[in-house]
């Protein structure tokens, strides 16, 4: 999932350089959402995956 966030941010950067404002904004927005979902799932797996000793 982190890979998707990186892909969308790269698309946003390339589109921004080339002047495609709408595409860059959309890709950046998607990248932000995917990154937040990744962080939430990572924290949940970190908390629930711990073994109690």
Task: Give the per-residue pLDDT at 42.
Answer: 85
- Annotate 1-53 with DSSP letters as a single string: -HHHHHHHHHHHHHHHHHT-HHHHHHHHHHHHHHHHHHHHHHHHHHHHTPPP-
Instruction: Provide the percentage of residues in the chain whose pLDDT is more than 90.
Output: 0
Q: Identify whether 20 is part of a domain.
A: yes
Give per-residue pLDDT as tens, 28-38. 888 888 888 88
How far the first Cα of the chain sits from its last, in Å, is 30
Q: Identify whether 36 is part of a domain.
A: yes
Report yes or no: 38 and 5 within 8 Å, Cβ to Cβ.
yes
- pTM here? 0.65
Q: Identify whether 10 is part of a domain.
A: yes
Q: How many domains are there within the chain?
A: 1
Does the pLDDT value for residue 5 go beyond 70?
yes
Domain of residue 43: give its range. Answer: 2-48
Task: Give the per-residue pLDDT at 51.
Answer: 65
Does the pLDDT value for residue 24 go beyond 70?
yes
């Amino acid at each position: 999932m982190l890979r998707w966030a990186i892909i969308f941010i790269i698309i946003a950067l390339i589109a921004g350089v080339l002047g495609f404002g709408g595409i860059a904004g959309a890709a950046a927005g998607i990248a932000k959402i995917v990154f937040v979902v990744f962080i939430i799932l990572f924290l949940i797996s970190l908390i629930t995956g711990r073994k109690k000793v």
